[in-house]
Structure 1
Amino acid sequence: MRGPAPDFPAMPQEKVMFENDDVDPQIRDFLNRMFASSAALGSRPGLSAPERRAIAERQREPWVRGGPAMHASEELRVGQSQVRVRIHRPVADADLPVLVYLHGGGWTLFSIDTHDRLMREYAARSGCAVLGIDYALAPEHRFPRALDDIAQVLDWLAAKGADHGLDPARYALGGDSAGANLSVAAAIDRRDAGAAMPCGLLLNYGAFDGEWRASYERYGDGDRYMLTGPEMDEFWESYLGADALSPERMDPRARVFHAELHGLPPSWLCVARCDILLDENVLMAERLTAAGVEAHLKIYDGATHSFLEAVAISSIADRAIAEASEWLAAVLD
């Protein structure tokens, strides 16, 4: 069952067009609307993190509306830090497998509100519950605070999940961009602690390293694509502090591309072709495979960073979510 259709922001009067555009037309429509709404809401250099978050929340509101209706949804505060979580259950069944979802936003922006529709899409299509975590954001709460919040929620899931219709033995970790990074790091922490491991990792256009590779130059034009190299550098600095990417300060729990990846569960990597993070995602899939991890790499031509948020108007986003959900249902069966 699907909810009411979303009320999208009006298209800008002059749509931005590019010669030999390699972005899918539906996703180009999404980008045009997003860039126009960002400008209308007053986005500009020099804003504080809270100001940027407020704009990002308002910008995403139309894209969150609509989509699948859930059998039940609830919000809780769990763990010592009273982390806000939201649980979507697509059906009334007890003991549902669960996807623990970690939103993106460079460890700095977004919330379980901006990603609510995406979480409901996964729930409806996979048949599993989805538990979204509102982990603490940087720069107010830098690494490893987000991982501490996630650990508290996973411990709660193991101890109390059954009381909320969830099967703690069948859970996957997933997220987009910074959330994909946190998913890998959290799984590594579980492995190293000897805790119950997730059944799978759902990794959407993850930020795994921070090194500028060829795709940074190819897809870093902020007028044509969604994410630029300087923006990504700012996110890393927000998360890790000054000199975030210096070799002397490299922590594999933050830059998980450099971590020991053995013993991780099967992983699904959803990657956008027109994304500065393309190269590190391809290399991450290779590193996972070399470590003995079953890694499925899916590259979506014509897609940009954040393209899954365009699911209401994009057939590519719709297909990507459907394919990931089919894989998710299989690993959680």
Structure 2
Amino acid sequence: MSQESRPHLPARADSTPDAVRSGKLEVDPLDPQIRRFVSELAQAWLRYPETGTRSIVEMRRIAEQVRAPWREGGPAMAVTRELQVPTAQGDVRIRIYRPQANIDAQPGLVYLHGGGWTMFSLDTHDRIMREFAARAGVVVVGVDYALSPEAKFPFALHQIVDVVRWLHANADSLNIDASRLAIGGDSAGANLAVGTGLFLRDAGEAERLRGMLLIYGCFTNELSQQAMNGFGAEGNLLTSAEMTTFWANYLATPADALDPLASPLRAQLGGLPPAFLMSGRCDVLAEQSDAFAARLRAAGVAAVLNEYAGATHSFLEAVSISDVADRAIDDGAAWLRACLRA
């Protein structure tokens, strides 16, 4: 795959810090319900005071506990089951969410959780996957891909490619319509979803995927100065410093940042399936969804970008209390239904 020049990240007039001052009046750009979500997450982390440098294992353990209340509730599934999928990189656990039982083969969505390739799990994103399954009427397959820094690029990507191929080979026994399979994910999961699409396209297997659901995605390791000084500054839900750490965890060498499978904004994008991109206006990565949607369209790929005012990174996790998260999931589900229509 040929490599593009340095990706262009457009300037955004709204890349303001978490709270900005206008005269003597402090203006909060966050939606009030999203502000509550951000504040409660911050308070939860304070229950785990620093006692020196935390190991990555400890960070994951705390992150699971902090996120636990936000996966509660939501729609019930008719069937939820876990399987081990054989891949060239060892067995990979998947979790299958089926919203309806005893009906004909249903379309499917392979879902890849976020967390900077470093944290989070099928459990942290359990509610998001159930919401999409119920609202879109699709079988959602969550993939428990290997995390970094233990597994470096492209290990997890190759696992996911093998899972997609396995789903096609075993679709009949899983009661999934392999001709109507999409891939999606949030943050680093969106990055992996596009990387999977690029890999399959270049292998002559583009027909395996009908669409890409890309939620506040990370598509390059580069951030504009405006983003770093704005919603990437300290005090925001996702900071530019955290993104630097996540990329360092994920990439085997600095040169890997130039690989289009790691940084899809550098890729030739023609021949990818249609995409629906969702981003929060108050997110350090919002500029990347802007740029990636524009690049997709320029390459002839059908791409829709919805940006949600007052929303931060990870805002879909606030669906239990947030109208904007509820609306965004509805939008993504509606696009999936249309994309996967027989």
Unaligned runs of 5+ residues in structure 2 are 1-17, 21-25
Residue number among 270, 280, 284 corresponding to 1:276 in the alignment: 284
* Structure 1 residue aligned with 2:228: 216
* Structure 2 residue aligned with 1:232: 243
Q: Partners in 2 of 1:249 and 1:217 — Cα distance?
A: 22
* Structure 1 residue aligned with 2:179: 169
Q: Partners in 2 of 1:229 and 1:76 — Cα distance?
A: 36
* Structure 2 residue aligned with 1:105: 115
* Structure 1 residue aligned with 2:136: 126
Deviation digits for residues 41-89 of structure 1 (CA, Å, limit 9, x no counterpart): 3467732211111111111111111000011110000113210000001
Q: Partners in 1 of 2:47 and 2:209 — Cα distance?
A: 41
Residue 220 of structure 1 aligns with an amino acid whose one-letter code is G
Establish whether residue 22 from structure 1 lines up as the match of residue 29 from structure 2.
Answer: yes
Unaligned runs of 5+ residues in structure 1 are 1-15
Q: Secondary structure at the match of 1:84?
A: strand
Establish whether residue 325 from structure 1 lines up as the match of residue 333 from structure 2.
Answer: yes
Deviation digits for residues 112-136 of structure 1 (CA, Å, limit 9, x no counterpart): 1110000000000000110000000
Does the CA contact (< 8 Å) of 2:168 and 2:208 recur in 1? no
Establish whether residue 202 from structure 1 lines up as the match of residue 213 from structure 2.
Answer: yes
Q: TM-score by structure 2 length?
A: 0.89
- Aligned residue pair count: 314
* Structure 1 residue aligned with 2:74: 67
Residue 262 of structure 2 aligns with an amino acid whose one-letter code is A
Q: Partners in 2 of 1:164 and 1:303 — Cα distance?
A: 36
Q: How far is 1:222 from its partner?
A: 2.8
Matches within 5 A, 1:234-273: 234-241=245-252, 244=254, 250-273=258-281
Q: Partners in 2 of 1:154 and 1:291 — Cα distance?
A: 24
Q: How far is 1:17 from its partner?
A: 8.6
Does the CA contact (< 8 Å) of 1:43 and 1:52 recur in 2? no
Q: How far is 1:138 from its partner?
A: 0.4
Question: Which stretches of structure 1, 4 residues or longer, exceed 3 Å deviation after superposition?
Answer: 42-45
Residue 53 of structure 2 aligns with an amino acid whose one-letter code is G
Q: Secondary structure at the match of 1:149?
A: helix
Residue number among 303, 308, 313 corresponding to 1:300 in the alignment: 308
Does the CA contact (< 8 Å) of 1:200 and 1:265 recur in 2? yes
Q: Partners in 1 of 2:216 and 2:19 — Cα distance?
A: 25
Matches within 5 A, 1:51-66: 51-66=58-73
Structure scoring higher RCO (CA < 8 A, sep ≥ 6) equals 2
Q: Partners in 1 of 2:134 and 2:186 — Cα distance?
A: 18
Q: TM-score by structure 1 length?
A: 0.91
Cα root mean square deviation, aligned:
1.6
Worse-superposed segment, 158-167 or 256-265: 158-167
CA separation of 1:77 and 1:215: change in aligned 2, threshold 3 A = same
Deviation digits for residues 150-201 of structure 1 (CA, Å, limit 9, x no counterpart): 0121111011122112111110000000000000000001101112331110
Q: How far is 1:249 from its partner?
A: 5.3
Q: Secondary structure at the match of 1:303?
A: coil
Worse-superposed segment, 105-114 or 210-219: 210-219
Percent identical across equivalent pairs? Answer: 48
Matches within 5 A, 1:151-190: 151-190=161-200
